[in-house]
Amino acid sequence: MAAGVFLSGARYVLGEQEVHHTELPGLEAKAAEYGLAVNAGLWGWGSVFRTERGLDDLAVEAGAKTLRACGIDPGEVDALVFCCTSSPGPPEGHGGFLRGVLTRLGLGDIAVYGVGMGRCVNLLSGLDIATALVTTGRYRRVLVVTTDRVFDEDTRITGYALFSDGGAACLVHAEANGEANDGAYEVLGCASAQETASLDWSSEISSDLAKRVNEELLGPRGMRTAEVDALLHANIYLPLLVMKERQAGFGTGQLDTTNTTRVGHCFAADPLINLADREASGRTRPGGYYLLASSVPGSRIGVLARKPGGATHVR
């Protein structure tokens, strides 16, 4: 990948109602249904965030936070990549929905790319698309937004995660003199691995697919998995997360499971939420390598980013 593609202004918004897992209706029944021991420490059960707001409200708030963080006027954005697991209503309403998001964000008559069938890898698919668009010179600044919420409370508790409502956003852009880059990271590469036969939700998450993504991103740079400063992963139940990522070659010190308990699983937004929190808490370093990655059955996507400064790893 040519140098000069950056990810900046990672920001997010959560549902305004924080609910402790003990207050979730039907927790014990759901645990029994999925064969889960009622043991919060084991699974990483903590709080979830719930909202009555619309997907458009979450998207606009997240996107506006990113634009402010980057010091970018909405008129300077060339395209929007919009990632959402649940389509907002029937197809006849999608145009009006997007018109509202674009208008409220102050964006002009720009191209919109929709990403919606990748489940919890939707955001990373969107980042891959945005990176390609900027790398090829098609656009200079692409706003990436993901938004999702639980509409049926019976689905908030699953056999692999407690779900939170929310959204996240960032700007993918070409290097530009004088551009304000709050929390900027150079995007070194994007990679995906798929096993079509395992795409059905009844299949397991594959650590072999994660290894393939690691090799595609790290191999050409002569890097080992251990040289990644942190894996910014999905906030799914701790035993599943730790087992699969350890099998993929990551050490426990590269995992940051705090947000599994603090915010739960916010659909596709987790890697960006975890990057934003890591940056805000001062736990990134100049020259550090950060891998945003997420898996669903049959698919793994990763985005390797480096914080500018420090020494560059040369093959």
Q: Say whether both 193 and 227 belong to one domain.
A: yes
Q: Say whether both 142 and 274 belong to one domain.
A: no
Structure token pair of residue 14: 């959560």
Q: Tell me the mean pLDDT in the region 99-111.
A: 96
Residue 236 has pLDDT above 70, yes or no: yes
pLDDT tens digits for range 135-183: 999 999 999 999 999 999 999 999 999 999 999 999 999 975 444 455 7
Structure token pair of residue 196: 């079509």
Do the Cβ atoms of 258 and 264 come closer than 8 Å? no
DSSP 301: E
Q: Say whether both 198 and 279 belong to one domain.
A: yes
Q: How far apart are CA 10 and CA 185, in angstroms?
A: 10
Q: Say whether both 141 and 260 belong to one domain.
A: no
Q: How far apart are CA 145 and CA 297, in angstroms?
A: 23
Q: Say whether both 208 and 162 belong to one domain.
A: no
Residue 313 lies in a domain: no
The count of domains in the chain is 2
Least confident of 126-135, 200-209, 274-283: 200-209
Least confident of 20-29, 89-98, 203-212, 254-263: 89-98
Residue 250 lies in a domain: yes
Give the range of the structural domain holding residue 258, as residue numbers without chain letter. 185-306
Q: Say whether both 168 and 200 belong to one domain.
A: no
Q: Say whether both 38 and 134 belong to one domain.
A: yes
Q: Say whether both 243 and 271 belong to one domain.
A: yes
Give the domain-ending residue among 152, 174, 196.
174
pLDDT number for residue 177:
44
